[in-house]
Amino acid sequence: MRDPNTASNRGLTMTKGQGAYDLICIGGGSGGIATARRAAAHGARCAVIESDRLGGTCVNVGCVPKKVMWQAAHAAEVMERAGDYGFSGVSPRLDWGALVSARDAYIRRLNGIYERNLDKSEVDFISGHARFVDAHTVAVDGQHYQAERFVIATGGVPGRPGIPGGDLGIDSDGFFAMPDRPEKVAVVGAGYIAVELAGVLHQLGSDVSLVVRRERPLRSFDEAIQEAYVHSTTQHGPTLVNHFTPSGLEAAWGGYTLHAEDGRTLEGLDQVIWAVGRLANTDELGLEAAGVRTGDGGIIPVDPWQATNQPHIFALGDVTDNPYPLTPVAIAAGRRLADRLWGGHEERRLDYRDVPTVVFTHPPIGMVGMTEAEAREQYGDQVRIHEAGFVPMDFALAPAEAKQRSTMKLVCVGAEERVVGIHLFGVGSDEMLQGFAVALRMGATKADLDDTVAIHPTAAEELVTMT
């Protein structure tokens, strides 16, 4: 790896001990690394500054370790159903410590791969905390680095409720540091992080209460998906506790007690996990020294080209006001930014339209495009809905009380019934959505789906045989 303290750069004034770059990415998560590597491939001199482990939230305390835990939970679910297929003597016992140890070793390997990839791309890695000194200079542990352009990709941090005893619970980061599986746990929150953690712990044997302030979780999803998920929790768990607004958390002999504003309590809890939203990680960046404006919660507003109010400073990912706080979105935005600034693609930018997303519940949820409510607001009476509900063959031999139903929904508009929304709840939704998302973005109609020969027997065939 080249020495970041000895480079020159496009006429920037340097003094002894300073490094200068075409681009400095502040934040060594997926978005920052992807941007720097793509810019370097176009010939830019780049550096990535990160104060923690490379890979950011996704690799260290997000998508990747979460999916490992989901796989463990899925394995437990499959073993529970083994008897339906004639297997006997299958009685799984989880060694939580072994699972956590293997998961963390896998993450450490990924950290090393990220660092080696930076080196291969000739991107300098600067370990430490970056803070702006002025609009073209950041300081890291007393060392100054200059750049023609900056990308801020520092992501978010978990929020906590401002209630008495709020610090007694743990957040989603703390979930990955738990040394033992809690026997009885409350997961507080209504978004995808909350339902994912609640589902994992439930499948791995914990007594889980999913605590939401309103009627249902996942309120930004299509109503059919909300209903399918709630029905699933009623039949299979975890326990949904709704209209519960936490007012305090206290530790007592026998466990934690979570209090609600209406006087209800959840008692005897081994752990409380807050999954009540995330905050932009901008407090310590010294953005005021660079003249970068921020909004509520430290969010950095950006234009469609990822630019802040300072035209040479860009931001992407969860630190911005983008509507999709997803790792692939940050990567896509960063690569397009680098292609435009250094690759000669003058109109290249991310179109934040029809972004597919998956929630790793049990079974998974997948969606792309408009909900029915959004479509009706825009298109009115032109909206046509097609739905299917069925029991997938995964549960063909299961007893009636164990069968898990799937739900699929197409939202179409116009006389040609162009597909503008696809909503899935059921086995395989996570894997089947990607291809159908391509079809939606290409303008597929209901007739296009109908004309596609089904693959039988699969759950995915329901999307091309739906009436």
Cβ proximity of 184 and 172 under 8 Å = no
Angle between helix 63-80 and 96-120 (nearest 10): 140
Alpha helices in 221-349 (DSSP H): 223-236, 287-290, 327-342
3-state SS, residue 368:
strand
Catalytic residue among 74, 136, 202, 456: 456
One-letter amino acid of 13: T
DSSP for 65-95, written as a single string: HHHHHHHHHHHHHHHHTGGGGT--S------
Report the alpha-carbon angle 330-106-279, nearest 5. 35
Q: Which residues of 31-62 are buried (b: 16+ CB within 10 A; e: fewer)?
A: bbbbbbbbbbbeebbbbbbbbebbbbbbbbbb
Please provide residue 50's backbone torsions phi and psi, each rounded to the nearest 5 degrees.
-145, 135
Name the DSSP letter for residue 265: E
Please confirm, yes or no, whether 259 is among the known catalytic residues.
Answer: no
Q: Which two tokens stand for residue 115?
A: 């660092």
Cβ proximity of 35 and 153 under 8 Å = yes
Question: Catalytic amino acids?
Answer: 456
